[in-house]
Amino acid sequence: MPNHTSPHHPLTELEISELRYRRLFETAQDGILLVDFHTGMILDVNKFLLDMLDFSKADFLKRHLWEVGVFKDIAASKKNFRTLQRKRYVRFEDLPLVTKSGKKMDVEFVANAYQVDGETTIQCNIRDITSRVQAQLALQEAEKIAGLGSYNLDITTAKWISSALLDEIFGINEFFKRSIAGWIELIHPDHRQMMSEYFQTHVLGQHHPFDKEYMIIRRSDKSTRWVHGLGRLEFNPQGQPTRMIGTIMDITERKRLEEKILADKFIDEAILESIGDAVFACNSDGHLILFNKMAESVTGITAKEAIGKHYHQVVKFIQESDGTPSDDFIAEAIAKNKITRMTNHTLLVRSDGKKIPVSDSASPIKEPNGKIIGCVCVFHDVTKEYQVDKAKTEFVSLASHQLRTPLSTINWYSEMLLSGDAGQLNPKQEQYAKETHHASKRMCELVNSLLNVSRLELGTFSIDPKQTVVKDLIQTCIKDFRHQIKTKHLSLTQKYSPDVHSMLLDPKLFSIIIQNLLSNAIKYTPSSGKIRLGLTKDTDSILITVSDTGIGIPHEQQDKIFDKLYRADNAKAVDPDGSGLGLYIAYVIASNAGGKIWHKPNTTAGTSFFVRFPITGMKSKTGNKQLT
């Protein structure tokens, strides 16, 4: 065999050219097929294509292009070959092939016909684009999930190409003229001039990114849609924009929801502004987020001044009796997730310093999952009601005071009759005298209670704490009920903590609290029931507990038990003659003296009442009246 590389046999230019082509053919990173132009018979195949498709060279040579089992659709392959013979060039950007093992893949297929030594040959270049196709499919899926259509605008030609999802958003097909003018035509007439000026001035002129929401008219169904367009400019070396790549999202549903929310918000705000009550709302940290017109009017503070500040800085509620802050009900509504009410005789200090009586409540604001995110407080000026109530209280005070003298006289004479001072009574006369005496005593108790309530509500009562042995005072109160306890065969258990001795208490007022709690426990506990009284001490307070095995308080009525004149339904059945003032009086005394009173149902039966005072004792208060 001749050695073509020997210096004695120099290579011709043709041989050198053929050698170079062979080397390129074998080392190319694309698959290459050489095919006979007339018959479609495969003449040669490079190693890269064999490795890519997992075929041997024998599988290809001397076989027609459509016979090797590579192309999935044989009929289409024959048709494409006839097109190639006619046009001498074909290109397929996404042609499906099958490897020998049956694996499917996507390729880019480019075929050219050219002549060599008078013979026409076809060269087919095949590139594996499976990964690229998969990435494109993933991108299309991501676009579909995100609702994003993409575009690529060539600014130099004013033409753009678009993704399938963008075509769907715009309602355009392959025949639509994708140009800047075509895009302008798609824009709703109400937005067309605005968007044209925005694109020309803001984007092309000032080189800002495209970021705009606007309306379009879909070409396919003429429906109006809202879209959000984003775009990023690319520049040539001279700094001129040459291309813009971006996305379009259909935001029609979002816009509809926003319009509904705005409409609902307008209605809500109109309602808030038109109602006669002052309303403010704060977040969970206490910072104001809403302050309606009536709140501005009542407080003398504008919403602009209030919003963003803590409610402590804006709305000042105080106790009428001593001027101490009275806004705990707001924090309690947030902390305990319940509706809370202002205490009686709460005053609002306006921005001009004027104090006006107010009343109402606070309610927690909750997310659908139950999370507390804030609180709304509703209140109103009750000056007129306060004046009426004050006049009524003063009248009750005066009437009660005037009634005490004749009632005392009736009580005194009835006692004299029963004791025989006016002579012996026959059985019927004695019965009448007993009923008169019993009624007068009950009326005296009611008058005393009404007198106490009037003094509490007018704020004229005094609190005069003295060093008092707590245990001795409680036991003195118990002595007053020994007869009733014995008559009903009740078991009374007392437990006193040894480290509680004396402290500053107003003996009269403290006794009223204990007497009211003991009286109720005895009255509403059936015969042979149990009552437990305890006195304990913790770090900074003492706690008195009065617990019974009585009838209890209905669950739905428990939050009203300290209201004036309120009586639970089951209590009315046991004692129809009760006044509904005892617990109210105990509550007001404890609150004004710096203490706290509350209750909770027992696990088995009955109720427990608790009274707590700071270890420093009851808070003093100056007044010109004492409770009876």
CATH, residue 37? 3.30.450.20
Dihedral over Cα of 261, 266, 268, 272: its sign: positive
- Residues with Cβ < 8 Å from 272, sequence gap 6 or more? 279, 290, 292
Name the domain boundary from 442, 458, 474.
458
CA 376 – CA 290 distance, rounded (Å): 9
The model's confidence at residue 13, banded by pLDDT at 50, 70 and 90, is low
Q: Which of 2-6, 190-194, 397-401 has the lowest mean pLDDT?
A: 2-6
Answer yes or no: are the C-beta atoms of 356 and 316 closer than 8 Å: no
Q: Domain check: are 487 and 525 in the same one?
A: yes
Answer yes or no: are the C-beta atoms of 346 and 334 closer than 8 Å: no
359 domain residue, yes or no = yes
Q: Domain check: are 433 and 357 in the same one?
A: no
Q: Which two tokens stand for residue 164?
A: 């399938």
Q: Domain check: are 474 and 610 in the same one?
A: yes
Residue 2 has pLDDT above 60, yes or no: no
How high is the pLDDT of residue 69? 63
Residue 535 has pLDDT above 90, yes or no: yes
The model's confidence at residue 403, banded by pLDDT at 50, 70 and 90, is low
Q: In which order are the strands placed within the sheet that holds 224-235?
A: 159-162, 148-154, 241-250, 224-235, 210-217
- For the chain, give the number of residues: 628
171 domain residue, yes or no = yes
Q: Which of 78-87, 90-99, 514-523 has the lowest mean pLDDT?
A: 90-99
59 domain residue, yes or no = yes
Q: Domain check: are 223 and 326 in the same one?
A: no
Query: Which one has a higher pLDDT value, 606 or 441?
Result: 606
In whole angstroms, how far apart are CA 167 and each of 149, 193, 446, 486? Answer: 8, 23, 86, 94
Residue 406 has pLDDT above 50, yes or no: yes
Name the domain boundary from 128, 153, 174.
128
How high is the pLDDT of residue 611? 95
Name the domain boundary from 200, 227, 255.
255
Q: Which two tokens stand for residue 124?
A: 């087919």
Q: Please compute the mean of the pLDDT values over residues 422-449 and round it to a whole number.
A: 76
Question: Which of 315-319, 400-404, 508-512, 531-535 is predicted most confidently?
Answer: 531-535
Answer yes or no: are the C-beta atoms of 526 and 570 closer than 8 Å: no
Q: Domain check: are 602 and 471 in the same one?
A: yes
CA 473 – CA 477 distance, rounded (Å): 6
Closest CA relative to residue 492, chosen from 502, 484, 504, 503: 484
| Domain extent at residue 402 | 387-458
Kindly report, residue by residue over 560-583, the tens digit of the pLDDT. 888 888 888 888 888 877 778 889
Q: Domain check: are 548 and 573 in the same one?
A: yes
The model's confidence at residue 405, banded by pLDDT at 50, 70 and 90, is low
SS3 content of the chain, % helix, strand, coil (to 5): 40, 30, 30
Considering the chain, what is the average pLDDT of its residues? Answer: 84
Q: Which of 45-59, 144-158, 276-290, 581-595 has the lowest mean pLDDT?
A: 144-158
Q: Domain check: are 439 and 480 in the same one?
A: no
Q: Domain check: are 363 and 327 in the same one?
A: yes
Domain count of the chain? 5
340 domain residue, yes or no = yes
- Do β-strands 491-496 and 530-537 pair in parallel, antiparallel, or remain unpaired? parallel
CA 593 – CA 420 distance, rounded (Å): 46
Q: Please compute the mean of the pLDDT values over residues 471-479 and round it to a whole number.
A: 91
- % residues pLDDT > 90 (the chain): 32
DSSP state of 67: G
In whole angstroms, how far apart are CA 42 and each of 9, 48, 96, 123, 124? Answer: 33, 16, 19, 10, 10
DSSP string, 301-347: --HHHHTTSBHHHH-EEEETTT--B--HHHHHHHHHTS-EEPPSSEE
Q: Which of 24-38, 231-245, 450-464, 588-602 has the lowest mean pLDDT?
A: 450-464
Q: Which two tokens stand for residue 226?
A: 């809202």
* Tally of CB atoms within 10 A around 238: 6
How high is the pLDDT of residue 452? 63
Query: Which one has a higher pLDDT value, 67 or 589?
Result: 589
Q: Domain check: are 393 and 329 in the same one?
A: no
Q: Please compute the mean of the pLDDT values over residues 186-193 and round it to a whole number.
A: 95
Q: Please compute the mean of the pLDDT values over residues 358-385 and round it to a whole number.
A: 84
4 domain residue, yes or no = no
Q: Domain check: are 393 and 510 in the same one?
A: no
Q: Which stretches within 383-459 are classed as H helix?
A: 383-419, 427-458
How high is the pLDDT of residue 4? 47
Beta strands in 99-223 (DSSP E): 104-116, 119-128, 148-154, 159-162, 210-217
The model's confidence at residue 425, banded by pLDDT at 50, 70 and 90, is confident
DSSP state of 421: T
| φ and ψ at residue 533, rounded to 5 degrees | -120, 130
How high is the pLDDT of residue 547? 94
CA 597 – CA 95 distance, rounded (Å): 85
Closest CA relative to residue 299, chosen from 184, 408, 377: 377
Q: Please compute the mean of the pLDDT values over residues 65-77 and round it to a whole number.
A: 73
| φ and ψ at residue 507, rounded to 5 degrees | -55, -40
17 domain residue, yes or no = yes
266 domain residue, yes or no = no
Q: Which two tokens stand for residue 504?
A: 């500053």
Angle of CA points 134, 138, 143, to nearest 5° = 145
Q: Which two tokens stand for residue 144?
A: 């579909």
Beta strands in 500-627 (DSSP E): 502-505, 530-537, 541-548, 596-601, 607-614
Q: Domain check: are 159 and 188 in the same one?
A: yes
Residue 8 CB burial class (10 angstroms; 0-12, 13-18, ≥19): exposed
244 domain residue, yes or no = yes
Q: Domain check: are 566 and 445 in the same one?
A: no
Kindly report, residue by residue over 201-229, the tens digit of the pLDDT. 999 999 999 999 999 999 999 999 999 99
